Amino acid sequence: MISFICITCGTQFPPSSSPPAHCLICEDERQYIGVNGQEWTSREEMISSNKYKNKIIEEEPNIYSIVPEPSFGIGQRALLIQTPNGNILWDCVSYLDQQTIQYIKEKLGGLSAIAISHPHYYTAMIEWSQEFGNIPVYIHQLDKQSVMRPDKCIEFWNGDTLDLLNGELKLVCTGGHFKGFQVLYWPRRQILFSGDQPQICMDQKQVSFMYSYPNFIPLNARKINHIMKCLQPLDFDRLYASCKMSGIKGVIETKAKEIVEKSAKRYLKAISDDNDD
């Protein structure tokens, strides 16, 4: 029995004797099936190929990015956040080997929990949870139908916000890209971890919001306004995205909230019927 992984999006499926017939994540209009059709791999195959490794980078004190090399799936990265109340993995990646596990346990203090912004980053979350002691994986209830590999470690939650690690971090459900899309907020450090909503643009003084990034499907004004309403109470100066696109570091280092607010106004103007530019 193998837990097959979709090569295009990186999502892992439950153990089976043969690959699934479909990847429902890729067949959704927000994603796509690769040019070679539906292809599968597995954690075991990725490790035995000796092709991949996880590069662990200290972005700033207590924040580490975990980036598979070469890039896999849609280019996801995970962020490990160290707090006095334990460490959390924000978003997830498909590749996990013993070297990564050992480094996190021995050098970074292990993991206490996992939280994931939306289904495009669920990847191998169950494997990560199991390797670190069946730690909880926090996902919003509204995205339950997009979990391709159910497991008892997943803790679905309802509502608008959820405190994690004794209040050190906070999940905020904003909707938009997915109904249960959530961001992670670190009040003490004034940092917002946004997944890819908002996503940092090539001009890193701007961010944007999309229903589908690869298929260029925008969000409507109602959803943008709701996202901004959810973010308004959060006092953040820095913003980390979960994909490092070409030429983009993946972090807005200062004035992030101001940039997000200006970008939202620009976006709303662009999609307005009154925009004559």
Strands (DSSP E) contained in 7-145 are 12-16, 40-42, 53-60, 63-69, 78-83, 86-90, 113-115, 137-140
The predicted model gives 21-42 an average pLDDT of 96
Q: Tell me which fold the domain 2-270 belongs to.
A: Metallo-beta-lactamase; Chain A (3.60.15)
State residue 274's pLDDT score: 77
Tell me the CA end-to-end span of the chain in Å, nearest whole number. 57
State residue 277's pLDDT score: 63
State residue 20's pLDDT score: 96
State residue 145's pLDDT score: 97
Distance CA 74, CA 243 (A): 8
Q: Per-residue pLDDT tens for 87-100?
A: 999 999 999 999 99
DSSP state of 96: -
For the whole model, what pTM was predicted? 0.96
Domain residue extents for the chain? 2-270
b/e for 188-220, b at 16 or more Cβ within 10 A? ebebbbbbbbbbbeeeeebbbbbbebeeeeebe
According to DSSP H, which parts of the chain are helical? Answer: 24-27, 43-48, 98-107, 125-131, 221-231, 256-270
Residue 22 confidence (pLDDT) above 80: yes
Q: Six-digit token pair at 57? A: 């980078």
State residue 248's pLDDT score: 63
Q: Per-residue pLDDT tens for 204-237?
A: 899 999 999 999 999 999 999 999 999 999 999 9
Residue 249 confidence (pLDDT) above 90: no
Helix/strand/coil percent split, the chain, to 5: 25, 30, 45
Q: Six-digit token pair at 121? A: 């980053």
Q: Percent of the chain having pLDDT more than 70? A: 97
Distance CA 212, CA 116 (A): 18
49 - beta bridge partners?
none
> How high does pLDDT run on average in the chain?
95
